[in-house]
Amino acid sequence: MPEAPAPAVDGWFTTDAEPRLIGARCPACGTYAFPPEVFACPNPRCESEAELERTPLSPRGRIWSFVVNHYAAPPPALSPDPFEPYAVAAVELADERLVILGRVAEGVSFDGLKVGIEMAIVVEPIILGSLELVWKWKPVTA
């Protein structure tokens, strides 16, 4: 049987019909972190030693900035052959006040990308045909 696609990293996002990024939240001071693997509360003034709780993050945010890459990134990045340009967006989550990087989803027109537009998380193979799943950002269309 062929191998099934699986998350490239464990515990950073869910893969159900409405996927979410998983962050960490300090039960004492309320600050968030992504990725969720933190070893202590990142807030230097928080003295709580309580373990941070895993929590789903907002599924939508707005583009803080983005780029379109016209050259293949070197390994360990994955690139299609022949190479196709790909976009990377930094998306700001309003409630968590986090800006999170991600690839822009397959098939999205680069022309539609603008700072400030709303994006939603989707889960896709890192590149077409890859068995490693990752979160990506996709414009929310009305």
Question: 33 near 52, Cβ under 8 Å?
Answer: yes
Q: Shortest Cβ distance from residue 33 to other proteins (Å)?
A: 6
> Least distance to other proteins from the beta carbon of 122, Å?
14
Nearer to other proteins by Cβ, of 1 and 84: the residue is 84
| Cβ 56 vs Cβ 34: under 8 Å | no
Q: Where do contacts with other proteins occur on this chain (CB under 8 A)?
A: 8-9, 26, 29-35, 37, 42-45, 64-71, 73-79, 86, 88, 90, 95-103, 110, 115, 126, 132, 134
DSSP state for residue 116 in the 8-state scheme: T
Q: Least distance (Å) from other proteins to the CB of residue 72? A: 8
* Residue placing its CB nearer to other proteins in the complex, 16 or 71: 71
List of E strands, the chain? 6-7, 22-25, 32-33, 53-56, 60-69, 86-93, 98-104, 118-125, 132-139
